[in-house]
Structure 1
């Protein structure tokens, strides 16, 4: 009789294949280990002897009809203790670390038995010397693995039983008590649990389903599903469950969260997710409050590899304070539009399109109920830019760009728009340059270029945004510029450059002014039509670099100090263009019966303004200084001294107007930076020194301050600021992790990327980048805590001094900080705060607490005082698949401003 060993092995492999696509979502009750059968006689024979016994067992002549062969690859099998064929039992035994390999599939178990009389295959674990059930079956194909306690398969009925199977599907770890294979496409499971916890045998939580039906690659249909937390059943459950099995994104409903606020009870951030394609999606969210307030939001992400990526969001809010009919009832609407688009650098080397849009109502960040505004509500400016650029290669090279820009002051509500801005530039042309070699002398360095800038600019307020009134007062103009310049060396040490510039300005309308004696006011008439004017100027500059070195000796700690000076003198001539100015007569208000002549230009109020009327001939002076030192390195093995910067780019600049009739000398502007910690901390400072005195009305007069009994200069303004970030890695020699600022939600909304005003929160109050424990492993797992405590601190200091009119006051003086520290391996706390030294008050403060609960994440944020006083508590499952399973409680800030 011919043996069925090949068919048996095939059936075993085929049966286990269904576990690779399984997406079970149920729970374990108790293990049912199947005891391994022990053979008292276990002779060890090799595969050649097994083949001989198989040939002797077949006493019937081979059938001439060829039967179909199921195996398409070589089957290799091994066992550590023995491989035995029992002719009496008609069974084959593989014992202790048994292993069968067929193609890319592998079966490993303590004991594998093939029963030819019953046409069944078994895979078990075995009991070791301590009576522990070990070496449970492991089925592996490619990178997928299933780990049951035992397997039983009948290849006549094509049915199988798998006990306590363990597998992973997507983010779920699944363990089923019994799995029954009905046919090739339907499987039934009993007492199944699924969880995102790493330990499927002792999870933090799990979902338990008593019966499920599984269709590979299609779906799982479950009966009653309950949620267990720490093996304690909860009332959370569903009468049935349907789980599609697909690797692709799928559309589905977003479960809203329930809460209460100043607008009443509410359902927030519920909606629907549309998985449109592999390249784009759409998320729709909405909230409703019992006092009638509502919000809705549309957001979309799109990407195409090696081409572009971006996201867009539109949010609208209609909020009601109090109830209709009450005296304090009010309503307001706000909206916000955001769009970010970036093009891959390799997509097109000659053209590029980018967008960064953030526009909407001026009060949006201050009064919106969107939690992500925590770090943005102090924003004073919203800005946007959408641009396209194209480069035309050749000689000369042409660069073309089109851009639409937007700037909005949220305090005043003033909106400035440029729709669009056209810029065209041509690279420099050297008409007298030699065909080869470097350019030398004044003639060969002569160059010119051409630049065109055209704009359609609109100034309006946010209440008239995109209304007809906004386009009515638009200003259209273009400006052509042709600079001509050259440079050369003088006496080998002096660099001289000189040139001239010609500009032509075009406008679409001008303004004629006259005086109405009846109304006693100026009348402005708009003259539509093309008009233009032309201007030109001359400039020259000469500069050099001077080095000074002072050596103190190699045995000194400070071995040498080097001073680098870069003085520069410039001369500029700007002619007067009186031909573009006119006059009109009006009554002199200061003198009765007198006529006053008022000068004006029809180009006043146009896009680029009127040309200069006053002739100016000025000399400018600037001096840049850098101080460096060579110091002995603390490292005794270093062969060279270490270079450090003492004072970086300390510059002074001023100018003298030769054609002026008074106040010819401009204030001296100075700025610089003092390096404190290399590449980490620089103290930046700046100021303005005025040489002229003030009169009794605090106005500048044409008299030097020293002649008026004062000092040589008056310090009229000054500023000092610095920012510093450091962490435990700076003291451990580790590298600071770089963050992509464009991925920071607060920064993308126009706020600071360093969280000094607080960390932004998501729709349900979760902190952005709220899983600080992801990817971290304890360096010393045997101890109760890692002695190296991770922490980071960011500091920002700023001071502004004002003394233009003898007020001598510090107008702004504050220090802010943001810090995070991991108190324990799974505990992190953070704070963002500061102090305003001028107003003697604490700046916006936020306290943060986060706790990693393995499968869960808990966070608490608190703004303890101020008009943004609020708190938010959230605990949810970390896995994004089950992110809707959460509990949150909050107290929203009072937004009735």
Structure 2
């Protein structure tokens, strides 16, 4: 049982921007706070059991009067003696009404309202079946009445200020602010509270008797509740309770606290986070996700969490959320694990350290429209998500790339507009452990300038459309590995460079229907390091030396293009099902020329005499912005893009216009001819296309590479047409196709189980690779966002929602006559509701090349109204595991749960 208050953050903890309240099991007792805040100005203590409230007997000298008469008689009771003024009985105007009658008893100073009665006095609003207002004793009584069947109806609704109470009956003194309430019902946050008797002593002390509180929707018949007989509550100071017992399905359980004392505050609180206990085969027993929460301010917080295993393994995590309204928000997580497998001295003993850093920062667009700062960081050990023992990130394990970006940009509202940005980027291959990082990347651009365009009017023609731009890009790039990350060797091998680009271009029309463009690009690159190559006679090998110092090269090129759009429609008749097919073609011819820059090339001899085998190289070789080319390039490019659309008769006979159906979103052909080349001038023909089918639920993309040249016996491409070598016109060298298909029982439903955390970790945003499991917070449904509870429609009218996602991938390779299918796999995920409260799901696949089942995950979940139960099972593979969870959905009672699992005992690689 928890005895300290603590609120969690992130996926575990409430967001800082909303002033989080730390919640733990001690809220079983802390219900007093919620109850009394809802009851308002009431109190409770041990009292004699009150009889069921009934309407008071009508006095013989009372008469039934209309509402206007009651108000007139009240006014007549005001004394008019000018010599000695008596204090008014009522200090404020009273407004009231009732459906059946309102009685005024001047002798007893009573107003009795019956049936749909309402009374408004000072800050009191009271609605009930029966209201008795004693304006001499300053008391109000309200209770229920019986309908024609004898059922008690019209429960009181008492409101004073912001406090609302819905009891069976209430007795309230509006002078002393004391109240006695029977069976009060109220909501406070996620809690629903009901107390047999509530009593308020004064402004600072409340007593409640026979109180029960729950997060269930039905307070009268909850699935579970916590019961305590005595509560004393001092607002903003303390809560003292007696025995508090958990009751499930009206059956008391052994879960109880004998008594408790807690300090109270309306501000955020720091506190302990109680860990979870369990065991593994490889590391022994463990305590996970224990630590301390620091409520630092309303804008940021910090949680320090840790795991400990009896074989010596441990883990630490630091998680914080921060937010500043209308400015920015974000979170920062640092995770470290020291993993020990087996025991020291045994042959399978191993020890490794892994870590992961995640940072997400977003700026409110309204805070500063001319500058923006953002961050999305995910870096660390390449094997973190494969080996972490605190979470199972399925999609992250199967993905092999981690990436990060931190950027700042600013726009200068000058003429022309200028933009400046600074960024740090990171890309990491988790298989090869290679890391590429830029720190920083500087970019500066100046918008297009039209020096010959008129200030007013359209820009037409070759001359008026001439424009130029300027862009600057500077990088400081690091290429390293996991073992050298942020060590001296990483900074020693840094590459630095700066690139200046000035494109000068124009566009114009030719013969009205043809669009032409022409551009000249000037490029200048600066490096702080170059190389020098020589031949080492001692080792008989080529050597490369780094030369420090500023150096630069300058290049330029010319390009132009000519294109048009051709529309064609093939009509089949208005009475046909397919009335017409529209074909749109966009042919384009381009020309590019890049001269040779051999002046930047040097030679060196590969023997001691210096006369034999001279080799050429450029000192800019290996630079981050490339090197100048030596070969003169002059090529013509050809491309043709196509779209096909059909007009079909709509199935809806009431519609007069035909329906448009996209047949092919795109079908592209492209190739080029190198005029400067000595041989193999024609580039392979690339064919690609894609379309959407079944109301855009199926997406199909395909591509193929066709080479017109033949192969020799050694598998090398030769200067001979393939058709002249006994083959076809083109030789298929590669092909690929991908099909993605998503469907559900409801056409307009979009899948809710987007894997946001998995996507942030580098995985997929769907559940084709299963769903991620975070052991620190299992309250969220693994099938997506929890939906509102719907009424049961009946067994013969039950709707069973379902969704399915397919992904098929096929790759064919025939570069050297291998004619092999290198990739052929099918992945599928499916989720359905077997009943309105039972959900099942599966993610699996099959690799037809490797002839084996791919990653498979089975998911089961039961909605228990206020509770949630799930079972997640990966039956085979390197990450085989299962986990079972049952717990309360509500965040305020998130620690009331039972969880059992097997942690994947992964083999370190």
| Deviation of 1:557 (Å) | 2.1
Distance 1:784 1:773, change over 3 A: farther
Residue 697 (structure 1) aligned with residue 710 (structure 2): no
Quick one: distance in 1 between partners of 2:478 and 2:297? 39
Quick one: distance in 1 between partners of 2:557 and 2:117? 92
Quick one: distance in 2 between partners of 1:586 and 1:620? 39
Distance 1:612 1:157, change over 3 A: closer
CA contact (8 A) 2:393 2:771 kept: no
Quick one: distance in 2 between partners of 1:432 and 1:213? 84
- What SS is found at the alignment partner of 1:167? strand
Quick one: distance in 2 between partners of 1:495 and 1:250? 67
Residue 422 (structure 1) aligned with residue 422 (structure 2): no
| Deviation of 1:875 (Å) | 0.7
Describe how 1:502-651 pairs up with structure 2 within 5 A.
502-587=522-607, 595-651=612-668
CA contact (8 A) 1:25 1:192 kept: no
Q: What residue ranges of structure 2 are gaps of 5+ in the alignment?
A: 1-34
Describe how 1:303-342 pairs up with structure 2 within 5 A.
303-342=323-362
CA contact (8 A) 1:27 1:176 kept: no
CA contact (8 A) 1:26 1:210 kept: no
| Deviation of 1:151 (Å) | 2.7
User: Corresponding residue for 2:804?
Assistant: 793
Describe how 1:232-271 pairs up with structure 2 within 5 A.
232-242=251-261, 249-262=268-281, 263-271=283-291
Q: Deviations over 1:490-523 (max 9, x none)?
A: 2223222222111111000111111111112222
Distance 1:143 1:723, change over 3 A: farther
| Deviation of 1:80 (Å) | 3.1
User: Corresponding residue for 1:10?
Assistant: none
Distance 1:312 1:257, change over 3 A: same
Distance 1:781 1:675, change over 3 A: closer
Quick one: distance in 2 between partners of 1:215 and 1:18? 10
Q: Deviations over 1:159-180 (max 9, x none)?
A: 5432222211111111112223
Describe how 1:862-877 pairs up with structure 2 within 5 A.
862-877=873-888
Q: Deviations over 1:462-487 (max 9, x none)?
A: 11111111101100000111111222
444, 448, 454: which one pairs with 2:474? 454
| Deviation of 1:889 (Å) | 0.6
Q: Deviations over 1:142-199 (max 9, x none)?
A: 6642122233456898754322222111111111122232222111112211111122
Distance 1:447 1:81, change over 3 A: closer
CA contact (8 A) 2:753 2:767 kept: no
Quick one: distance in 2 between partners of 1:695 and 1:782? 71
Quick one: distance in 1 between partners of 2:179 and 2:222? 28
Q: Which moved more, 1:685-694 or 1:305-314?
A: 305-314
| Deviation of 1:380 (Å) | 0.3
| Deviation of 1:211 (Å) | 1.1
User: Corresponding residue for 2:898?
Assistant: 887
Quick one: distance in 2 between partners of 1:651 and 1:24? 79
User: Corresponding residue for 2:32?
Assistant: none
Distance 1:774 1:103, change over 3 A: farther
User: Corresponding residue for 1:757?
Assistant: 769
User: Corresponding residue for 1:200?
Assistant: 219
CA contact (8 A) 2:742 2:805 kept: yes
Q: Which moved more, 1:123-132 or 1:45-54?
A: 45-54
Q: Deviations over 1:718-767 (max 9, x none)?
A: 1101212221221xxxx3347696x8111111111111101112224627
840, 850, 861: which one pairs with 2:872? 861
User: Corresponding residue for 1:675?
Assistant: 692
- What SS is found at the alignment partner of 1:346? coil
CA contact (8 A) 2:118 2:127 kept: yes
Q: Deviations over 1:412-450 (max 9, x none)?
A: 010000001111111111222123222222222222111
| Deviation of 1:121 (Å) | 4.5
Quick one: distance in 1 between partners of 2:876 and 2:122? 67
Q: Deviations over 1:42-99 (max 9, x none)?
A: 741235655777789899968836659884x422122333333446656543333332
CA contact (8 A) 1:693 1:701 kept: yes
Residue 438 (structure 1) aligned with residue 455 (structure 2): no
- What SS is found at the alignment partner of 1:376? helix
Distance 1:75 1:215, change over 3 A: farther
User: Corresponding residue for 1:807?
Assistant: 818
User: Corresponding residue for 1:9?
Assistant: none
Distance 1:761 1:28, change over 3 A: farther
Distance 1:542 1:384, change over 3 A: same
Quick one: distance in 2 between partners of 1:199 and 1:39? 37
CA contact (8 A) 1:29 1:191 kept: no
Residue 164 (structure 1) aligned with residue 164 (structure 2): no
Describe how 1:730-741 pairs up with structure 2 within 5 A.
730=747, 735-737=748-750
Distance 1:677 1:114, change over 3 A: closer
Note the aligned Cα RMSD (angstroms): 3.1
| Deviation of 1:356 (Å) | 1.0
Residue 718 (structure 1) aligned with residue 735 (structure 2): yes
CA contact (8 A) 2:268 2:295 kept: yes
Q: What residue ranges of structure 1 are gaps of 5+ in the alignment?
A: 1-15
- What SS is found at the alignment partner of 1:707? helix
Describe how 1:95-174 pairs up with structure 2 within 5 A.
95-103=114-122, 105-114=124-133, 121-141=140-160, 144-153=163-172, 159-174=178-193
Quick one: distance in 2 between partners of 1:682 and 1:243? 59
CA contact (8 A) 2:395 2:762 kept: no
Tell me the TM-score normalised to structure 2 length: 0.90
Q: Deviations over 1:580-607 (max 9, x none)?
A: 111111249xxx9993222111111222
| Deviation of 1:664 (Å) | 1.6
Describe how 1:470-509 pairs up with structure 2 within 5 A.
470-509=490-529
Q: Which moved more, 1:217-226 or 1:460-469?
A: 217-226
Residue 214 (structure 1) aligned with residue 233 (structure 2): yes
Residue 301 (structure 1) aligned with residue 321 (structure 2): yes
Q: Which moved more, 1:141-150 or 1:454-463?
A: 141-150
Quick one: distance in 2 between partners of 1:609 and 1:624? 31
Quick one: distance in 1 between partners of 2:761 and 2:507? 45
- What SS is found at the alignment partner of 1:148? coil
Tell me the TM-score normalised to structure 1 length: 0.91
Distance 1:764 1:622, change over 3 A: same
User: Corresponding residue for 1:11?
Assistant: none
Describe how 1:340-489 pairs up with structure 2 within 5 A.
340-489=360-509
Distance 1:689 1:534, change over 3 A: same
Q: Which moved more, 1:859-868 or 1:135-144?
A: 135-144
Quick one: distance in 2 between partners of 1:783 and 1:740? 27
- What SS is found at the alignment partner of 2:643? strand
CA contact (8 A) 2:590 2:637 kept: yes
Residue 228 (structure 1) aligned with residue 247 (structure 2): yes
CA contact (8 A) 2:243 2:256 kept: yes
Q: How many residues align?
A: 872
Quick one: distance in 1 between partners of 2:74 and 2:503? 98
